[in-house]
Chains A and B, each alone.
Chain A
Amino acid sequence: MKKSNLLILMFAMTLASCGEQQMPDNMRSLATGYEMYSVHCENCHGAEGEGLARLIPPLKNSDFIKKYPDSIAGIIRHGQKGEILVNGIKYNLAMPSNSVLTDDELSQLVNYVKIRFGSVKQ
């Protein structure tokens, strides 16, 4: 093995062991988010967050989430009603409130939605 390769390998190993304390937590949180999404959101917003025609707005690349990142938790908890503009299209159907999610699950879900659907760069 060349010396430079060995160095890179060692560097990678150190990185991996450093990250070990943080990674699992992060991963677990995303896994919860994913699970919550499939249970509570996917039926309406779709597996890829694509939404449904002009009935249900997309989450994928939603400019609404980018513009109002702090409103997402409230929308999930309390629902959303009335006309709403997402990526230039007007939607107007009620999204029901969700009182089943715990506060932890809710924040993990919001985090997941932001990362998964592209309004936050990871």
Chain B
Amino acid sequence: MRNRILGMLMLLFFISSCTEKKLPILGYKIAKVTVVDGKEVIDSIYPTIPDFEFTNQNGIKVNQETIKNKIYVADFFFVTCPTICPRMKKNLLEVYAKYKTSPDFLILSHTIDPEHDSIAVLKDYAERLGADAKNWHFVRGDRETTYELAEHGYYSTAMADSTEPGGFVHSGGLILVDKQKRIRGIYDGTNANETKVLIQDIETLMNEKE
């Protein structure tokens, strides 16, 4: 009897140490009603990033098709930002250096000052930073749409699940999104250590079985 309990304990221990680390999925589950065979079926699912359409530094459309089956990092910035943006971009450069050759990885940097940050300005900025438009998009759209997406697509979702006192760091957030368009992590992009965690988490996400 005793041996059996011990054996089971050991087995449990083994199983738990074998399971790989998984990143949390952020946001409250929401009910989704679908009609199957004429019957209403209620599913509870995690919120996803809503569809969007922006233009990148090369004047090319960037939308949900662009991020299809990609793991990506999203951030919000503006070219003339005197405070935290250069710091964020510096940290993002580290992330980029690590994953820019991965075919299923992208960075999406949204300008929140589209009046100043024209396509030409974004192009110059991106080139000076050393970002390739193939996998680091600097995108602009109209201000309203961008703010709306930031608040309701990326931030509020993240905030709803934040366990940190004071909630999610509103500015300077780097948002990690998985291939199912679900938010898997928010990191303070002004902080080099949090950026290291992000780099680690991207790796974890890439190894995750779907």
Interfacial residues, chain A to chain B (CB-CB below 8 A): 43-44, 46, 52-56, 91-94, 96
Contacts and interface: CB of A to CB of B under 8 A. Distances in A.
Interface in B91-126: 93, 124-125
Interface-central residue, B83, B89, B90, by most chain A CB under 10 Å: B90
Q: Considering the complex of A and B, which 4 residue pairs feature the smallest CB-CB distances, nearest first? A: A54-B128, A55-B128, A44-B86, A53-B129
B149 interface: no
A46 B90 contact: yes
B91 to A, nearest CB: 11
13 contacts: A43-B86, A43-B87, A44-B82, A46-B90, A52-B89, A53-B89, A53-B93, A54-B127, A55-B86, A55-B125, A92-B124, A94-B80, A96-B80
A52 B86 contact: yes
A85 B72 CA distance: 35
B84 interface: yes
Given A56-B86, A93-B79, A96-B80, 8 more contacts: A43-B82, A46-B90, A52-B90, A52-B129, A53-B129, A92-B124, A93-B125, A93-B128
B82 A53 contact: no
B167 interface: no
Interface residues of B, number: 16
Contacts of B87: 43
B59 interface: no
Nearest to B125: A55
A96 B80 CA distance: 9
Given A43-B87, A44-B86, A46-B90, A55 B80 contact: no
A43 B84 contact: yes
A46 to B, nearest CB: 7
B130 interface: yes
Given A43-B87, A46-B90, A54 B129 contact: yes
Nearest to B131: A53
Nearest to B84: A43
B83 A53 contact: no
A46 B89 CA distance: 11
Nearest to A56: B86
A53 B79 contact: no
Contact of A96 (B82, B127, B129): B82
A93 B80 CA distance: 8
B20 to A, nearest CB: 35
B128 A53 contact: yes
A18 B52 CA distance: 69
A55 B92 CA distance: 14
